[in-house]
């Protein structure tokens, strides 16, 4: 009997293999139901939301210029005519079905681009994504505000306004579906208009549309392109407790976060690059210790806190402060790590709170919030003007006094106003270097 079983085994093995092949399922075709398009100043991003990972190929064709993307084992259940291709290099998008369940997407272009694709793994609030970036080959010249002068011949203070998130990174999402990225852009644009009407201030926008700018690039645009004196990043808070409410201001920390909430918010803000699908090679990995040392030496961290306090005082007049805290909190926000700029991050309210979500979408509240940031910034400039600016000239004409802030030193104030410590002591009848916050110094 055993011998008979051995003789029949090969036949049984073949039959089993055939049966296994018969029941092996054909690879399922994936249906893509959502496509988005974001236009940035130097590139166009097209995003396909995928139910699962999808293999693809990309071809670049010329005469005429076209980009062809083949999506394998996938079908596109989305009307691409709904995409806004205005101001982009795309003339038309065509979709076709090919054999083996391949969907072909053709981008007809009006000029050459440098294409790049990237398949992104799921990260909240997104699932799998295929990103197609079409980079402009000809970059538009960018106007820099560095060295801009007022009518009186004095240099204007350059303020970089940075609406957080954008594009693939919606930021926090409110109960009614409000995206943080849209609210803070509205507030930022209102702030720009107010600052444009303010003598002595030249505002520049880090982003002025629905597209994403990497965190390191935001600092680079502000510092290298525009030589900004001040950097203001605008956000709308979110927390698991829907009762949490109130505005707040943050600066960079040199010794850890000042609260658990500050640490949490910094971690969420620093995740923006990953949510937006920024390649690791595009992220800035400079060491924090060197940045903190440079900021300490230049005094920009101390002055960031001064600026934050002035903005807090103004916001307190139009809305509640979170936890009734009138102090600037600190944490390791990546977007604030630029030694040469005074930098703050303003949380305009909790978008996760139903009442504050309603306020944040109100044009009136957006205007008043923008106005409070302007008034706080002006107050800071009036008390801490840079030499050669209109604010410094006004201070010299109106008064030669300086209100001492916590963390100030006599030698630091002397450097700021280009006078010697000896003259500063003599003008104020000071013996030694001891000064007190709130004390007013006469500047010779």
User: Is residue 9 one of the residues assigned to a domain?
Assistant: no
pLDDT digits (tens, 9 = 90+) for 90-120: 999 999 998 889 999 999 999 999 999 999 9
* pLDDT score at 326: 84
Of 395, 441, 388, residue with least CA distance to 152: 388
User: Is residue 286 one of the residues assigned to a domain?
Assistant: yes
> What's the burial of 249, exposed, middle or buried (CB within 10 Å: 0-12/13-18/19+)?
buried
Q: Do 114 and 230 share a domain, yes or no?
A: no
Q: Do 163 and 122 share a domain, yes or no?
A: no
* pLDDT score at 315: 96
Q: Do 195 and 254 share a domain, yes or no?
A: yes
Q: Tokens for 286?
A: 């400079």
The parent domain of residue 244 ranges over 157-383
Q: Do 186 and 226 share a domain, yes or no?
A: yes
Burial track 294-320 (b if 16+ CB lie within 10 A, e otherwise): ebeeebbbbbbbbbbbbbbebbbeebe
Of 206, 202, 203, 214, residue with least CA distance to 185: 206
Q: Do 173 and 295 share a domain, yes or no?
A: yes
Q: Give CA angle at 246 (244, 249), nearest 5°.
A: 120
Q: Do 379 and 403 share a domain, yes or no?
A: no
User: Is residue 321 one of the residues assigned to a domain?
Assistant: yes
- Ranges under pLDDT 50 in the chain: 1-10, 12-24, 297
User: Is residue 285 one of the residues assigned to a domain?
Assistant: yes
* pLDDT score at 362: 97
Q: Do 379 and 408 share a domain, yes or no?
A: no
Q: Do 372 and 414 share a domain, yes or no?
A: no
Q: Tokens for 350?
A: 């909790």
Q: State the pTM of this model.
A: 0.81
* Domain CATH code at residue 67: 2.60.40.3500
Q: Do 42 and 129 share a domain, yes or no?
A: yes
* pLDDT score at 2: 38
How many domains in the chain? 3
* Domain CATH code at residue 428: 3.10.350.10
* pLDDT score at 51: 96
- The phi and psi torsions of 242 (rounded to 5 degrees) equal -65, -10
Q: Do 132 and 192 share a domain, yes or no?
A: no
Q: Do 404 and 364 share a domain, yes or no?
A: no
Q: Do 218 and 358 share a domain, yes or no?
A: yes
Of 335, 318, 175, 341, residue with least CA distance to 247: 318
């Amino acid at each position: 009997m055993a011998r008979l079983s051995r003789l029949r085994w090969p036949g049984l093995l073949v039959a089993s293999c055939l049966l296994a092949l018969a029941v092996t399922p054909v690879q399922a075709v994936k249906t893509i139901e959502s496509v988005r398009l974001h236009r940035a100043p130097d590139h166009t991003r097209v995003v396909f939301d995928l139910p699962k990972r999808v293999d693809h190929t990309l071809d670049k064709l010329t005469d005429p210029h076209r980009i062809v993307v083949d999506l394998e084992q996938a079908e596109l259940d989305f009307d691409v005519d709904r995409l806004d291709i205005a101001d982009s290099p795309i003339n038309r998008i065509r979709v076709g079905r090919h054999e083996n369940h391949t969907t072909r997407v053709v981008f007809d272009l009006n000029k050459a681009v440098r294409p790049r694709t990237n398949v992104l793994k799921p990260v909240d609030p997104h699932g799998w994504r295929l990103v197609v970036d079409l980079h402009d080959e000809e970059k538009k010249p960018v106007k820099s505000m560095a060295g801009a002068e007022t009518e009186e011949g004095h240099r204007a203070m350059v303020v970089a306004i940075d609406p957080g998130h954008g594009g693939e990174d919606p930021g926090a999402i409110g109960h009614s579906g409000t995206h943080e990225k849209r609210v803070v852009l509205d507030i930022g644009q209102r702030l720009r208009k107010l600052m444009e009407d303010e003598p002595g201030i030249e505002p520049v926008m880090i982003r002025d549309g629905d597209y994403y700018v990497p965190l390191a690039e935001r600092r680079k645009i502000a510092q290298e392109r525009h030589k900004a004196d001040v950097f203001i990043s605008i956000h709308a808070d979110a927390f698991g407790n829907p009762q949490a409410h109130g505005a707040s201001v943050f600066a960079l920390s040199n010794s850890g976060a000042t609260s658990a909430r500050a640490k949490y918010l910094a971690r969420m803000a620093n995740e923006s690059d990953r949510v937006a699908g920024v390649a690791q090679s595009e992220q800035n990995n400079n060491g924090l210790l060197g940045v903190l040392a440079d900021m300490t030496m230049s005094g920009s961290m101390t002055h960031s806190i001064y600026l934050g306090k002035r903005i807090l005082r103004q916001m307190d007049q139009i809305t509640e402060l979170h936890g009734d805290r009138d102090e600037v909190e600190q944490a390791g926000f990546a977007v604030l790590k630029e030694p040469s700029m005074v930098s703050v991050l303003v949380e305009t309210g909790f978008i996760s709170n139903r009442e504050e979500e309603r306020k944040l979408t109100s044009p009136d509240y957006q205007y008043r919030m923008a106005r409070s940031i302007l008034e706080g910034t002006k107050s800071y400039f009036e008390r801490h003007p840079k030499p050669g600016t209109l604010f410094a000239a006004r201070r010299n004409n109106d008064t030669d006094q300086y209100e001492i802030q916590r963390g100030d030193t006599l030698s630091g104030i002397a450097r700021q106003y280009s006078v010697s410590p000896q003259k500063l002591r003599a003008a104020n009848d000071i013996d030694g270097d001891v000064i007190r916050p709130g004390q007013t110094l006469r500047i010779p």
